Chains A and B, each alone.
Chain A
Amino acid sequence: MKEQEYQQMIKRCLRCSICKWIPQLQIKSQKYATICPSIDLFNYHVYSGGGRIILALALEMGRIKPSEEIRDIIYKCTECGGCAVSCKFLNTLEPLEIIIKLREKLVSSGFGPMPKQQQYIEAVKNEHNPYNEPHGKRLDWLPKDIKLDPSAKTLYFVGCTSSYRRKEIAIATTRLLNAANYPFRIFDGKEFCCGSPVLRTGDKESFLTQLNKNIDIIEQEGIETVVFSCAGCYNTFKVEYPLERDFKFKILHTTELFNELIENSRLQLNNQVPYTVTYHDPCHLGRNSEQYDEWDGDVLDLMPLISINMPEKPKRNGSNGIYEAPREALKKIPGLKLVEMERIKEFSYCCGAGGGVKSAFPEFATKTAKIRIEEAEDTGSDIISSACPFCSTNLKDGINEKGSSLRFYDISELLLMALDSPQKSVKKSSTEVT
Chain B
Amino acid sequence: MVLKKEILKEFEAVVGEEHIDDGDVITNVYAYNWCMEIFNYMDGKEPIPFSPTPKAVVLPSSTEEVQKLVKLCNKHNISFKVQSTGLGPWNQPSSENCIIFDMRRMNKIIKIDEQNLYAVIEPYVSGAQLQAETMKHALTIHMPGAGPQVSPLASATSMNGPGFTSPSTGHSARNVLGVEWVLPDGEIIKLGSYGVKNNPDWYIGDGPGPSLRGVMRGWAGTKSGLGVFTKVAVKLFPYPCKTDYNVKGTSPNYDFDIPDFMKLYVMDCGTFKKLETTMLRVEEEEISFMCSFLSSFAVMAIFSNSIESLMNKLAIGRMKAPLVVIIAARTKREFDYKQKVMDFLLEELGLKNIIGKLYTPNPIFYAEALRSNLGLHGFIATGGFQSSKGVADTANVCLRSTKSNISLKQEYIKKGAIANDFGEGTWMTSYESGHYFHMESPTMFDQTNKKSVEGMAEYMEKSNQLDLLKHLGAPFFVEGNRMHELFGPHMSNYHIWLRKIKETFDPNNISDSGFYISSS
A315-B250 Cα distance, complex, nearest whole Å: 13
Chain B residue numbers with a CB within 8 Å of A21 are 126, 128, 149
Q: When the two chains form the complex, which single residue of B33, B367, B446 contacts A25, counting CB atoms closer than 8 Å?
A: B367
Give me the 7 closest cross-chain CB pairs, A-B, nearest first: A304-B416, A30-B129, A319-B250, A312-B308, A46-B29, A27-B128, A305-B419
- Chain B interface (Cβ within 8 Å of chain A)? 19, 21, 23-26, 28-30, 32-34, 48-50, 57, 59, 85-88, 102, 104-105, 109, 125-126, 128-133, 147-150, 245, 247, 249-254, 256, 305-309, 311, 364, 367-368, 371, 373, 376-377, 379-384, 413, 416, 418-420, 444-449, 452
Closest to B306 in A: A312
Instruction: Please choose the segment from A65-73, A359-367, A392-400 that sits at the chain B interface, where 4 or more of its residues have CB less than 8 A away.
Output: A65-73
Chain B residue numbers with a CB within 8 Å of A306 are 307, 381-382, 419-420, 444
CB distance from A316 to the nearest CB of B (A): 11
Q: When the two chains form the complex, which single residue of A15, A63, A318, A345 contacts B34, counting CB atoms closer than 8 Å?
A: A15
Chain A residue numbers with a CB within 8 Å of B50 are 58, 61, 63
Instruction: Please choose the segment from A87-95, A171-179, A424-432 that sits at the chain B interface, where 4 or more of its residues have CB less than 8 A away.
Output: A87-95
Tell me whether A264 is interfacial, beta carbon within 8 Å: no
Contact A43 B416 (CB under 8 A): no
Chain B residue numbers with a CB within 8 Å of A73 are 25
In the complex, number of A-B residue pairs with CB atoms less than 8 Å apart: 191
Instruction: Please choose the segment from A49-57, A125-133, A193-201 that sits at the chain B interface, where 4 or more of its residues have CB less than 8 A away.
Output: A49-57
CB distance from A49 to the nearest CB of B (A): 12
Chain B residue numbers with a CB within 8 Å of A23 are 251, 254
Pairs across A and B, CB under 8 Å, 22 listed? A11-B447, A16-B147, A20-B149, A21-B149, A24-B128, A24-B147, A26-B247, A27-B131, A27-B132, A30-B130, A44-B29, A57-B32, A58-B28, A61-B50, A63-B24, A89-B305, A90-B252, A303-B420, A305-B452, A317-B253, A319-B252, A319-B253
Task: Tell me the chain A residues, 25-52 only, with Cβ under 8 Å from chain B.
Answer: 25-30, 33, 43-46, 51
Chain A residue numbers with a CB within 8 Å of B128 are 21, 24, 27, 33
Chain B residue numbers with a CB within 8 Å of A146 are none
Tell me whether A114 is interfacial, beta carbon within 8 Å: no
Contact B447 A85 (CB under 8 A): no
* Known contacts A15-B32, A33-B128, A308 near B311 by CB under 8 Å: yes
CB distance from B147 to the nearest CB of A (A): 7
Question: Which DSSP category, helix, strand, loop or mixed, fits chain A's interface?
Answer: loop
Contact B28 A44 (CB under 8 A): no
A18-B128 Cα distance, complex, nearest whole Å: 11
Q: When the two chains form the complex, which single residue of B86, B132, B251 contacts A28, counting CB atoms closer than 8 Å?
A: B132
A257-B133 Cα distance, complex, nearest whole Å: 40
CB distance from A15 to the nearest CB of B (A): 5
Contact A305 B444 (CB under 8 A): yes
Interface centre among A16, A23, A315, A320 (most CB of B within 10 A): A16
Contact A43 B129 (CB under 8 A): no
CB distance from A46 to the nearest CB of B (A): 4
Closest to B32 in A: A54
Tell me whether A14 is interfacial, beta carbon within 8 Å: yes
Chain A residue numbers with a CB within 8 Å of B452 are 305
Chain B residue numbers with a CB within 8 Å of A92 are 306, 383
A30-B384 Cα distance, complex, nearest whole Å: 29
Closest to B378 in A: A90
Closest to A305 in B: B419
Contact B129 A33 (CB under 8 A): yes
A317-B373 Cα distance, complex, nearest whole Å: 18
Contact B149 A58 (CB under 8 A): no
* Known contacts A12-B384, A14-B87, A346 near B251 by CB under 8 Å: yes
Task: Tell me the chain A residues, 76-117 only, with Cβ under 8 Å from chain B.
Answer: 85-86, 88-92
Chain A residue numbers with a CB within 8 Å of B364 are 25
Q: Binary interface profile of A, 260-275, with partner B (CB < 8 Å = 1, else 0)?
A: 0000000000000000
Q: When the two chains form the complex, which single residue of A29, A43, A61, A90 contacts B380, counting CB atoms closer than 8 Å?
A: A90
Contact B23 A305 (CB under 8 A): no
Interface centre among B102, B251, B368 (most CB of A within 10 A): B251
Tell me whether A291 is interfacial, beta carbon within 8 Å: no
CB distance from A352 to the nearest CB of B (A): 19
Chain B residue numbers with a CB within 8 Å of A225 are none
Chain B residue numbers with a CB within 8 Å of A12 are 383-384, 447-448
Contact B307 A308 (CB under 8 A): yes
Interface centre among B28, B131, B371 (most CB of A within 10 A): B28
Tell me whether A421 is interfacial, beta carbon within 8 Å: no
Contact B32 A17 (CB under 8 A): no
A11-B26 Cα distance, complex, nearest whole Å: 18
Q: Binary interface profile of A, 389-411, with partner B (CB < 8 Å = 1, else 0)?
A: 00000000000000000000000
A359-B448 Cα distance, complex, nearest whole Å: 38
Chain A residue numbers with a CB within 8 Å of B252 are 88-90, 315, 317, 319
Q: When the two chains form the complex, which single residue of B21, B371, B445 contacts A305, counting CB atoms closer than 8 Å?
A: B445
